[in-house]
Amino acid sequence: MENKPIPKQKCPLIGHAFMCLVGVFLLIFLGLFVYDINLHITIFLAIIWACGQARWIGYSFDEIRLMMSDGIAKALPAIYIFLLIGMVIASFMQSGTIASLLYHGIDLLSPSWFLATGLILCSFMSVATGTSWGTVGTIGVVLVGIGEAMAIPLPLVVGMIVSGATFGDKLSPISDTTNLAAMSAGTNLYRHIGAMLYTTIPTFIIVLTIFTVWGMQYEDHALPADQIGAIRNALLSAYRLDLWITILPLLLMFVLSIKRYSAEASMLCGVATAVLIAVSYQEKNPIDVMNALWLNSPGQTGIESIDALLGRGGIYSMAWTLLLSMMALVLGGILHHAGFLEVLVKAVIKHIQRTGTLVATTILSGLLGNMAMGEAYISIILNCQLFKPLYQQQKIDRAVLSRSIEEGSTLTAALIPWTTTGTFYAATLGVSPLDYAAYAFLNVLNPLISIIMVTLGIGLLQHKK
């Protein structure tokens, strides 16, 4: 089928654009919080509403279908990673990688230091690999298991994991969003990272302090020696747990990511290695291992919570998440191509004079873009296009633009239930963004601290043409 361009027939009036977006958000809010309607159906109703608004301003049904298709097409890399992450998690369960990390980590992580240590581990992993999704799908799953065993509230544990995973996704030179923001804003990658250090490092220190102090109240949550022994014996009965063998898939992904192989290639190599270990070292039936890549089955340790954890993963397990993400992307394609979001943003930015107000508006626009379009990639590109002329006009360094775009788009994507990131985290870690958002302190505080610092004239950088 030939790809046709999407014509710009008629730009909506600002009042119509405002009505359209209010209608979308009102449908989602009422569906989720008032009538308890399934989120997929809520998004579907919002799509119908957006289609009607696009038709009202003159777009044909064929053109609206093209908008919807383009919304999905622009996020295809994220969809591919969805499928691969499902296989990564299942294969790491089958190979004993996750079980081995649980076995060796459950008595090494003190409850009082668990949150602070977990934040540092997730931050290091995400900086080194450049992927928050890979971090959440591997070490994040392990930390959920350990945190659950220690009876630490799971929304708090997941908030810590998301904070650490986002830290690296925002700062790593091999992160796709980091590179995309720098490229879209027209600035050097390392200048972009340097600009983000001004606001991210102080925020990280504050967040680390919060998790350290908060974690101290769980000092008496240390598992009794007999319970630790029971968990370890149960794991030993189901797996061979030589750490240097079972950790090979994770190390391979880690090394390939550092060497700047694509995320897809790194994950495929990790899956292949995990499958080989599952068959040769764990002596599992090859057919069972391959079927687990489609849908994993619960573990056989005899401990219900551990068995449920070890049964996660597989392509099918991502179906709920994938379908929701695709529907959100369809909605975003309509709102983007029909001009509803662009009209509102342009109407606001033409009245902006102060630098602090400009940065705050950029960050809020990133949040709005995520909510409307369901994908941080699209929000980053669109907002860079919209705000770049104004930053140039006010002679503000482009690295400040790219930093603000990341703080509005990359950081907030994890806090919204229907974005690709929010749905993935919920499916992988078993906690909704509505529950963990209040504890994802880095994601919440970093944009606020950035606005405050810029208002005070801190971190604006010397302007470069």
- pLDDT score recorded for residue 120: 92
Residues 201 and 290 in one domain: yes
- pLDDT score recorded for residue 173: 76
AA identity, residue 180? L
271 lies in some domain: yes
465 lies in some domain: no
Q: For the chain, what is the domain count? A: 2
- pLDDT score recorded for residue 276: 97
Residues 281 and 236 in one domain: yes
Residues 258 and 357 in one domain: no
Residues 331 and 445 in one domain: yes
Map tokens 């990511």 to a residue: 257
CB 81 within 8 A of CB 133: yes
Of 249-253, 276-280, 457-461, give the lowest mean pLDDT range: 457-461
* pLDDT tens column, 306-363: 787 788 788 988 788 788 878 888 888 898 889 888 888 888 877 787 888 889 999 9
Map tokens 């799509």 to a residue: 47
Closest CA relative to residue 331, chosen from 24, 114, 59: 24
Map tokens 């219900």 to a residue: 304
C-alpha–C-alpha distance, residues 422 and 431, integer Å: 10
Q: Residue 407, SS3?
A: helix
Residues 108 and 208 in one domain: yes
* pLDDT tens column, 53-73: 999 998 999 999 999 998 888
* pLDDT tens column, 110-156: 888 899 999 998 998 888 777 788 788 878 888 998 888 888 999 99
Domain boundary among 316, 331, 365: 316
356 lies in some domain: yes
- pLDDT score recorded for residue 23: 92
Domain boundary among 274, 290, 316: 316
Closest CA relative to residue 333, chosen from 5, 30, 74: 74
329 lies in some domain: yes
Q: Residue 343, SS3?
A: helix
- pLDDT score recorded for residue 161: 96
3-class secondary structure for 145-208?
Answer: HHHHHCCCCHHHHHHHHHHHHHHHHHHCCCCHHHHHHHHHHCCCHHHHHHHHHHHHHHHHHHHH
Residues 273 and 395 in one domain: no
9 pLDDT tier (thresholds 50, 70, 90)? low
- pLDDT score recorded for residue 463: 56
Residues 70 and 80 in one domain: no
Domain boundary among 272, 289, 316: 316
Mean residue pLDDT of the chain comes to 86
C-alpha–C-alpha distance, residues 305 and 348, integer Å: 50
1 pLDDT tier (thresholds 50, 70, 90)? very low
**Domain carrying residue 223:** 76-316
- pLDDT score recorded for residue 174: 67
In this prediction, what percent of the chain has a pLDDT beyond 70? 95
Closest CA relative to residue 454, chosen from 384, 400, 399: 400
Q: Residue 255, SS3?
A: helix
Look up residue 34 and give its DSSP letter. Answer: I
- pLDDT score recorded for residue 2: 45
Residues 66 and 168 in one domain: no
Residues 147 and 36 in one domain: no
* pLDDT tens column, 218-266: 888 766 777 778 888 888 888 998 989 998 998 898 888 778 787 788 8
63 lies in some domain: yes
